[in-house]
Structures are given as C-alpha cells and as structure tokens.
Amino acid sequence: MIRKYFALALVALLFAAKSHAQQDPYYSFFMFNKMAYNPAYAGSKDAVCATSVYKKQWSGFAGAPEFQTLNINSPIAKQRAGVGLGLINDKLGYENSLNVVFSFAYKIKLNSAGTSNLAVGAAGGFMQKSLDGTKLKPEQMGDPKIPISKVSATAPDINGGVYYTNTSIGRLKNVYAGLSATHLMQSTISYTTINGNTVDSKLATHYYLMAGAALDLTSSLTLEPNILIKQAPGKMQVDLNAFVLYNNKIRGGVIYRSGDALIGLIGYQFTENFHAGYSYDFTTSQLSKFSGGSHEIYVTYCFKFKPPVPKIPNIRLTPRYL
C-alpha cells in the first residue's frame, strides 16, 4: 500500500515544498559529469566529449526519481574557449522536467606554459515541466489546486561558474576545482488548472563546489580523491569520494553522501578517450526501510582533435645553385 501511493506522496511534497528543497538530480559519478554542474567546464579537454548518464533512484518505489542526462562539449578558438550542450530529463512521479542549456566558457592562462588555467562560463536555456494530472487524486491529498488534467509550462534558465585546472602541483596531477550555481534567474513555472487556479513551482538557485586530483601511489596504482559540496535552499550536502585506478584500466571506489547514502562505484577505462562505470547507492536515511537502493550508469567518449599535417614545400633544385 505504501508503494502504491508513493508517487502521489511525492507530488504532494513537490507542491508543499516548492522552492525549499533539492531540485537538481543527484549524480554519483559527478567527477565525470561536471558539465551538469558547471558551464565553465566546457572545452576543458582538447577533444569533443560526450557523457551520458542514466539513474534510477530509490528502486522499488512506484514513481521514484528517474533521469537521463546528456552533455556534449568542445573547445573552440584554438582552445581559448569552449561550447557545450546539456540535456537533463528528470521524471518524478507524474511530473517530468526537461532542462536544456547551451554553455560557453572562456579560458584564461595562468602561466606561460599553459598548464594552469581558469575558465569562466555561463549557460542559458529553458526548463520545461509537465504534469499528468489525470493520474492524480486531489481529494486524497486534500488540495483542490492540484491539476487534474495534463499541464505543462516553460521558463528561461541561466547557470554560471568558474573552473580551475592544473596539470600538476607537487605530486598531485590533474588538479581541478570548480564553483558554480544553477537556476540563477529563479524562474517561476506556473500550471493553470481547469478551474482557473494557478500552481507555481519556483526554480531555486543551487550552489556547487567541487575539487579533485590524482596521486600515483605506485607504477600501477593511482588514487583519485574528489569532493562535491551542494547547497540547496535549507540544505547542504557533501559527497566525499575516493577512487583507485589500476593499470589505467580498472577503477573502483566509494562515496559517502552526508545524510543519504554510502555508494559503491566501479568503472573501466577502455581507452584514453572511452570509459564507463556503474554505481549502487546503499540508502542510509529512513528511506532504507522501503528503498531497494539507487542505480547509476555513465558512459563518456571523446573525439580527439588531429593536428593538421604540415604541408611539405615543393622544392626543386637547379644546377645554377649547386
């Protein structure tokens, strides 16, 4: 019975909480999906990179969160800038959210060698929300304002951020740090019901601070620590991660997510430009009594730029200059 009405309860919480809750999806593989948090990441690699993520959260519940993400980014202007496209399709109960943003980042060299850089980025697009009110039962929720038909609405959306990289600091390599914010406009998406009532859903600004690096322990073992701090209205959450990469191929690690879950992650580096992974969330909150945990899969593939082949000048020798 609890699972049967879980979707209804989720929707009720959405309308009750409005902007006072986490609205952006959770990613276990946040370190490989930085474009979802920070537009300044666009073009940070010398390749066109695409990352796809699928997550099923709190499996076992009807109407539990489920989302798909696709991010594509590429350097432009001789790697002095970057562009990107991000799509997030987030389904929660009978509500579906589609977020589409276009990103631009400008890279500033902090040293002459180009090994240390700071990128500033912004993203603009829209958020579309739709709700299938035909599957709801407002009388059970005690709220006559909840739509009883299919409704949808769209609002503009803007994100911003900065992203720092350094190829090496002492023994650390591939050092990065980023600060960003999503939904800076705090747009309001309004549903209009059949009886003329208006239901508002406000996009709250979320803040993110992330950092990470790699440290060679031996010739075949590399430690990769990462941290993500998330600040949503009325709630802060910290993800602490540690990976061990073996022979630049096999990756395994754990994440502790404060107040929510302990996560196990595995991955495989097929090539330098192609890697994938799977994670499972062991829920540690009260939802552990009912949830079967969360599953996430990611795949990243990069298309490397090939340097232009130098043109060999057509030189002809004549006896005059021999």
Report if residue 66 sits inside a domain: yes
Number of CB atoms found within 10 A of residue 202's CB = 16
Report if residue 313 sits inside a domain. no
Residue 320 in domain: no
pLDDT at 179: 98
In a domain, 312, yes or no: no
Question: Of all residues in the chain, what percent are helix, strand and coil, respectively (each to 5)?
Answer: 10, 55, 35
What is the pLDDT at residue 292?
74
Structure tokens, 79: 């790697």
| Number of structural domains in the chain | 1
Residue 319 covered by a domain: no
Could you tell me if residue 194 is left (phi over 0), alpha (psi between -120 and 50 degrees) or otherwise beta? alpha
- Identify the pLDDT of residue 138: 60
CA–CA distance, 188 with 304 (Å, rounded to integer) = 40
**Token pair listed for 108:** 């500033």
Q: Can you read off the two tokens belonging to residue 260?
A: 């929510």
Q: What is the DSSP letter of 289?
A: G
In this structure, what CATH number is given to the domain that contains residue 46? Answer: 2.40.160.40
Q: Which residues face 201 on adjacent strands?
A: 189
The Cα–Cα gap between 21 and 278 comes to: 27
- Angle formed at CA 38 by CA 228 and CA 302, multiple of 5 degrees: 100
Domain around 297: 6-304
DSSP E strand stretches across 183-234: 188-192, 198-202, 206-216, 221-232
Q: pTM for the full model?
A: 0.85
**181 is a domain residue:** yes
Any domain includes 81: yes
| Residue 317 is assigned to a structural domain of this protein | no
Specify which residues 237 forms β-bridges with: 230
The set of residues, in sequence order, having a beta carbon less than 8 Å from that of 318 and lying 6+ positions away, is none
How far is it, in rounded angstroms, from Cα 93 to Cα 133? 11
| 29: exposed, middle or buried (Cβ count in 10 Å: 0-12, 13-18, 19+) | buried
Q: What is the dihedral of CA 227, 43, 159, 180, to 10 degrees?
A: 30
pLDDT averaged per 10 residues in sequence order, the chain, 322 residues? 45 43 84 96 95 89 86 94 97 91 97 93 96 71 67 94 96 97 94 73 94 97 98 92 97 95 96 95 78 90 74 61 52
Closest CA to 189 of 123, 97, 103: 97
